[in-house]
C-alpha cells in the first residue's frame, strides 16, 4: 500500500483529491510509539496534528482530587457518564480512545496553543502520521481550498463530540 493510499483511509483527509493527497503526503512524518509510551504529556510543547495509522491512543487528563471530587467521581462512574480511574500516579479522566483513521492534536494547532492540555499514550504498539504545526500552516497558506476541506472535517467531528458531551452532562445532572 502506498502512502497516498494509506492517507486516503484517514478521516481528517476525507474529500481531498489526488493532488491534495500528494501535497499532504509531502508534509507527513511517520512516528512509531510502543505500547505504554507517551505520544505527548500535558504542558509539553505541541508539535502538530496526529493521525492514527494503526494501534490505539488514549487521551487523558490528571485530576486534582479532594473529598468533593471523590464523591463526584463515584456519581460519574455509577452513571457511566465518563471514565475516571485511579492510577499509581493519581486520578485521571479518559477523554477518548482513538483508533485507526482517527486524529487528535488538531485543536491545539488551530487555537495556536503552545502546550498540550492533556496526555496522549499508546495503549498498544501504534503508528501515527504527524503533520507538524509548521507544515499545517504551510498547507493553509499554499492551499486554502485543501485546508477548508480539512477544517470542515474538524468542525464536523468537533460538533459530534460536543453533542456527545452534552448528553453525558445531562446524564450526570439529571440522570437520563
pLDDT tens figures, 104-149:
999 889 899 999 999 999 999 999 999 999 999 999 999 999 999 9
Predicted confidence (pLDDT) at residue 22 exceeds the cutoff of 90: yes
Question: Considering the entire predicted model, what is its pTM?
Answer: 0.83
Number of domains in the chain: 1
CATH of the domain at 144: 2.60.120.10
pLDDT of 77 above 60: no
Give me the domain span that covers residue 35: 3-174
Distances (CA, A) of 154 to 14, 126, 150, 151: 11, 22, 6, 5
* Average pLDDT for 7-34: 96
CA distance linking residue 97 with residue 100, whole number of Å:
10
Q: Which of the pair, 159 or 151, is modelled with greater confidence?
A: 151
Amino acid at each position: 500500500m502506498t502512502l497516498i493510499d494509506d492517507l486516503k483511509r484517514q478521516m481528517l483527509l476525507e474529500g481531498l483529491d489526488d493532488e491534495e493527497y500528494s501535497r499532504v503526503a509531502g508534509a507527513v512524518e511517520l512516528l512509531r510509539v510502543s505500547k505504554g509510551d507517551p505520544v505527548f504529556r500535558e504542558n509539553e510543547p505541541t508539535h502538530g496534528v496526529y493521525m492514527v495509522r494503526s494501534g490505539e491512543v488514549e487521551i487523558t487528563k490528571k485530576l486534582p482530587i479532594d473529598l468533593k471530587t471523590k464523591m463526584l467521581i463515584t456519581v460519574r462512574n455509577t452513571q457511566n457518564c465518563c471514565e475516571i480511574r485511579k492510577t499509581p500516579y493519581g486520578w485521571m479522566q479518559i477523554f477518548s480512545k482513538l483508533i485507526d483513521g482517527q486524529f487528535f492534536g488538531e485543536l491545539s494547532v488551530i487555537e495556536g496553543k503552545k502546550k498540550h492540555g492533556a496526555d496522549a499514550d499508546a495503549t498498544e504498539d501504534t503508528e501515527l502520521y504527524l503533520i507538524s504545526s509548521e507544515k499545517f500552516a504551510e498547507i493553509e497558506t499554499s492551499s486554502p481550498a485543501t485546508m477548508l476541506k480539512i477544517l470542515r472535517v474538524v468542525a464536523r467531528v468537533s460538533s459530534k463530540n460536543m453533542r456527545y458531551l452534552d448528553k453525558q452532562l445531562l446524564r450526570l445532572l439529571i440522570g437520563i
